[in-house]
Amino acid sequence: MFNGLFEEWAFQNWPTERLSYERRAGFAPIGATGAMIVGTLIDGDGASSWYGHAPRGGRNGHRDGAGTGCLKGTHMSEVVSYNVDSDGLCALVLDLPDSKMNVLGATLSNALESTLRRAMTDEAVKGVVITSGKDSFVAGGDLKMLSGGIDVAAMPSEDAIHMFSSFSRLLRWLETAGKPVACAINGLALGGGLEIALACHYRVVADDPKIALGLPEVQVGLLPGGGGTQRLPRLIGLAASLPLLMQGRQISPAKALDLGVVHAVVPREELMKVAKRWLRECGDPVQPWDRKDFKVPGGDDTLTPEFRTMFIGTNATTRAAAFGNMPAPEKIASALYEGLQLPMDKALQVEAKYFVQLMIDPVARSLIRTMFVNKGKADGLFARPKNI
């Protein structure tokens, strides 16, 4: 989720002392110094060019408009468009400039936060639809930027967790801000892209078997740090969520509907129509897990013998497969076991704790460097002499 260039940038502009001070002063920077690189094997062209300084926290947790970490020459309105129709329904269209796909970095994350805050405080807006202006929705994070960087182990744990959980805090704020949010998934939704969708109150996806939805972070030694380990099992149950979280399995729209990950699958041209119809006719701004009578699907109590037995089997399988050399599946299992016994806000803190532990471990960075960065160079014949 974090990365080499971004870590260096964040460290230079947000030293530990400032992070602690800003938090004590009541400032809560969300998008810029947060868990935004969310483990996908997609090459995010154009998303690794950074410009400006880290945004400072403004009053009441808002950031000042100037100095945001955007691509040079890029304005927020060029990244996420903002349109309100006659019914008071606001369409936020994600369209990262100079990139084949929407990838989560400071540019897209900051723009998303800015437009969401605008929509939530705009009295004319009754509901929000998030969609994409590209063929894909959001392909996760830019893994090119996750090699090297600051020594997370040297940071106080409180500051590291605060830094790496900012994207998670943004999504938690989105689902509790008081206005219904629908997500019209028009293409690939991996990693942080699916986590954005899971934080929305309604999800509709285009009927296209080529579309993949998933949380593949485990494949590069990480865990979903934007709430994925906590929202997915609360949505579809622990057993159904394990293959997606522990193996990084990707699913089609039809399978997502069958599992309950999305509410509807419709033709691509009807996505916005269906999403807006839900906002007009239903528009419930409360997530199931924020209701007092909520229980995790598939069991009456997370402390039942069946629940514990499932984790015993999961731990045994994980240990047998990797002999303790792959910490990500074990940390995901721990985040699930602890988090599902807690309210959502506490559960997200548990997820952030284990995400930071994986960032401290060298396995994730080594996997990304070997399986993504270096493999990409090899596939592109990076070391091949010219004119041969």
Q: What is the pLDDT of residue 373?
A: 64
Residue 243 falls inside a structural domain = yes
Is the CB of residue 100 less than 8 Å from the CB of residue 94?
Answer: no
Q: What is the pLDDT of residue 129?
A: 98
Is the CB of residue 71 less than 8 Å from the CB of residue 98?
Answer: yes
Residue 388 falls inside a structural domain = no
Q: What is the pLDDT of residue 124?
A: 96
Q: CA–CA separation, 273 vs 261, rounded Å?
A: 20
CATH (domain of 200): 3.90.226.10
Q: What's the number of domains the chain is made of?
A: 1
Please, what are the averages of pLDDT over each run of 10 residues along the chain (388 residues)? 35 36 34 34 31 31 37 62 96 94 90 96 97 94 58 80 90 97 97 97 97 94 94 95 95 98 98 98 96 84 78 83 83 94 96 92 78 70 77
Residue 348 falls inside a structural domain = yes
Q: CA–CA separation, 370 vs 372, rounded Å?
A: 6
**Residue ranges making up the domain that contains 60:** 4-379
Q: What is the pLDDT of residue 301?
A: 64
Token pair recorded at residue 285: 């701004």
Q: What single-letter DSSP state applies at residue 69?
A: -
Residue 62 amino acid letter: H
Q: What is the pLDDT of residue 40?
A: 35
Tens-digit pLDDT profile for residues 331-363: 999 999 999 999 999 999 999 999 999 988 888
Q: What single-letter DSSP state applies at residue 222?
A: -
Report, as residue numbers or ranges, the catalytic residues: 195, 217
Q: What is the pLDDT of residue 16?
A: 38
Parallel, antiparallel or unpaired: strands 189-190 and 80-84: unpaired
Token pair recorded at residue 260: 């309950």
Q: What is the pLDDT of residue 204?
A: 98
Token pair recorded at residue 273: 């129509």
Q: CA–CA separation, 96 vs 101, rounded Å?
A: 7
Return the SS3 of 49: coil
Token pair recorded at residue 327: 């910490």
